[in-house]
A and B are shown apart, each in its own frame.
Chain A
Amino acid sequence: MTIEIKTATLEPIRNTFEHTRRRFGDKPASRYQEASYDIAPENNFHYRPMWQPDKLLNDTSRTAVVMEDWYAFRDPRQYYYGTYVQARAKLQEVTENNYAFFDKRGLGDRLSEEVKAKVVRCLIPLRHMELGANMNNVLCSAYGTSTVLTQAFLYNGMDRLGIAQYLSRIGLLLDGNSAEVLTKAKDHWMTDPAWQGLRRYTENTLVVEDWYEVFIAQDVVLDTLVYDLMYRQFDQAITEEGGSDLAMLIEFMQEWHKDTSRWVDATLKSTVAESDHNKELIGRWVAEWREKAVADLAPLAEIAVGDDAVNACTEALNQRLAKAGL
């Protein structure tokens, strides 16, 4: 007996949606492309926003940056919602194991009082800065143009909330959930002279209206400095002081920063390469915010790592800017 297996041979009548065909040609498009390009409303808005009557609902003029095509960007990670949450879920699984291990082995008790105090003073208050970063990235998502950018901003914004929550959990791990550490860390954020520069900088970013400038002030300038300072230099310093177990609690932030930097760099590079207008504008924003950030971060850098720390992170920032053509 022969079995005839019927296979369906149905010829598709088209390879992809029109919006992806127009942009990428008549061939099957990736899921990232179908769900990211040209799907935002662009035309025929019915009413002007009551909260900003001089603009349209979606309006490219919410930044001074000019792009011929706002979909000229591409997220090198190709994150759409599904790939984004799956990437983060993997990272969080590792993190969860790390935190559980740290807790179960009582590694917090092995940290010296000096190291603990330093973590409380220098690291945990960053959770508030991360909340500022959350608000800033959500602002860019809400008012930015093109889904390739706005979705990445929202992912970034939610990541920052996640990081603020991990930092809070480090605090709770160190004091057995009494929340004393978080209270102390908040006091540092509010009144410790070492933190006032960073808090002022954060509050200043929260009133900026141009969303691309917010991206520069937060994701490009401040984050490059702070992540180099805390998650590289401070990590090393603490390890030298016998606090190497801290490393497993900040692995998420290190991995995350590598991941997000790919997108930040690609975005910056495409914008700068677009025109001299963009290049000059961004150059000006970078210079202004860098000057403030370096000055504001210096006192924290000094107590967290030492004299030279702020120069080292400025060096990291400059290298990054050079890669983008700035």
Chain B
Amino acid sequence: MSNKKLNMKDKYRLLTRDLEWEFSYRDRKEIFPQEDFEGIKITDWSKWEDPFRLTMDSYWKYQAEKEKKLYAIFDAFSQNNGQQNVTDARYVNAIKLFLTGVSPLEYQAYSGFAHVGRQFGGVGARVACQMQSLDELRHVQTQIHAMSHYNKHFDGFQDFAHMHDRVWYLSVPKSFFDDARSAGPFEFMVAIGFSFEYVLTNLLFVPFMSGAAYNGDMATVTFGFSAQSDEARHMTLGLEIIKFLLEQHEDNVPIVQRWINKWLWRGYRVLTLVAMMMDYMLPNKVMSWQESFEVYFEEAASSLFKDLARYGIEMPPYAADAIAEKEHLSHQAWSIFYNYGHAAAFHTWMPTAQEMDWLSEKYPNTFDKYYRPRFEKWREMEEAGERYYNPTLPMLCQTCQIPMGFTDMENPTMTSYRQSVYDGERYNFCSNGCKDIFDHEPEKYVQSWMPVHQIFQGNCGGPEMEDVLGDYYRINLGVDNLDFKGSPDEARWNGWHNLQSAEDKLKKAS
């Protein structure tokens, strides 16, 4: 028998798309009950273009090869105590933030993509989402394994899943993903598949992974490289969903536009944590937040939205607000964390003199004018033995849940406040974006589990802050939190490298 050659597309159609059949014993609507409620109109699932045509046999084969190599590096890393080779122990706090703040989002992505991987009415879309679900499971698990060895030598990694469900600043990424998962399946895809994985991923993963590369963190950087081909697939899926929705029906266009506006702002707010990580937590800097924002958001997004213009999609109005903040964001965020360093599960510190100079150079319009004076004051207090910690509890934005510390860009010394009243209650917001998101779906955002309200209501352990931080958050007080200077992490690090702590040096000198 002579065999006809099948091209990739035909092969994929026969092996995957053709598995589907017309239901006749049951109504389609019973099997895919979530397809209609968001107002999205799908007229023909067969128009779905498969973003990658991977059959399971090749998936297993490629992914197994990647896993084998990755775990060989993890094994070598722990055998050789690779954690000693990072630039300086302050660096490790960046990956504590990653494990407690980002890895649990990989988990949420795993659940969310399984959910839409069951709910979509087209087999092509379902299977693509299922593969992403499996990849995201890979990401959370390999991240846990990458950090497993760090956990044995540094404090603050040990209870990441417990903390993610409770700690005030982790409520920012958690609420973001809860928001996406609790939305309908199409909104989830615009939120995560498109806005997060396609538009914002370079602002999230690239900084962490390059940060690892620049700071001698073999375990994390190897994971990052290994995940790259997965991410490439996720990006093509994100782009396909947008095109598909926009091409299916013109009524979808305004809905999708609103979702893009919402989710780019929501995602951008989560990136606040990345901004401060880049500018303050990396001993060896990769580039400044502003530079990365200009390359990966301003340039990339403007060409993307040029492409999408033919569908009638425009650049979100809040993009201008994000651009206006780029010279301020990281400094304001680090100030908040420095202030609440007793309530964080990682260490904070004031930048060294050279680091401040780097910040002045990178942020010539803002750093010396607004932030250096404050930081130098804090450094003086610290040197006088009065390291500043803010004893009050901050007010949080009802939408993004970040403490209200962002300022008005017209007047950068004034905190920016927006308010809405819903059902007789007043709610506070950090920005126009956050206020608009609330105003459009107040019944959703009044439900937010607001960490500070919860503390006041007594839902987070005993009455004292120590009970909240120690018993409820399970931060090891005096160990995981407070300034890097004087921390057990610092002491161990200095021990490994025969270094003197700053304090000892001072004592000897006096």
Chain A residues packing against B (C-beta within 8 Å): 8, 10, 12-19, 31, 34-35, 38-51, 57-58, 80-82, 85-86, 88-89, 92-93, 95-96, 103, 106, 108-109, 127-128, 130-131, 134-135, 138-139, 141-143, 150-151, 154, 157-159, 161-162, 164-166, 168-169, 172, 175-179, 182, 186, 189-190, 199-200, 203-204, 206-207
Contact = CB atoms under 8 A, between A and B. Distances in A.
B285 to A, nearest CB: 28
Nearest to B116: A142
A178 B179 contact: no
A81 B134 contact: yes
A180 B107 CA distance: 42
A58 B104 CA distance: 14
A86 B151 contact: no
Contacts of B447: 46-48
B151 to A, nearest CB: 6
A211 B125 CA distance: 22
Given A89-B61, A162-B57, A40 B18 contact: no
A80 to B, nearest CB: 5
Interface stretch (B64-72, B302-310, B427-435): B64-72
B14 interface: yes
B164 interface: yes
Contacts, number: 250
A35 B16 CA distance: 31
Contact of B5 (A95, A177, A186): A177
A252 to B, nearest CB: 9
18 contacts: A12-B153, A17-B159, A19-B159, A39-B140, A39-B144, A50-B183, A51-B37, A51-B184, A81-B142, A82-B145, A88-B64, A92-B61, A142-B115, A159-B56, A162-B57, A190-B21, A199-B21, A203-B26
A10 B14 contact: no
A207 B148 CA distance: 41
Interface of B is mostly: helix
B155 interface: yes
Interface string B97-120: 000000010011011001101110
Contacts of A138: 114, 117-118, 126, 130, 133
B144 to A, nearest CB: 5
Interface of A is mostly: helix
Nearest to A135: B118
Interface of B: 1-6, 14-16, 18-26, 30-31, 34, 37, 55-57, 59-61, 63-65, 67-68, 70-71, 80-81, 84, 104, 107-108, 110-111, 114-115, 117-119, 123, 126-127, 130-131, 133-134, 137-138, 140-142, 144-145, 148, 151-155, 157-162, 164-166, 171, 174-175, 178-179, 181-185, 444-445, 447-449, 454, 474, 488, 492, 496
A44 B131 CA distance: 28
Given A13-B492, A43-B165, A46-B178, A31 B449 contact: no
Contacts of B160: 17
A150 B175 CA distance: 22
B137 A18 contact: no
Contacts of A51: 34, 37, 119, 182, 184-185
A197 B160 CA distance: 49
Nearest to A35: B141
Closest 3 interchain pairs by CB?
Answer: A162-B56, A89-B64, A12-B152
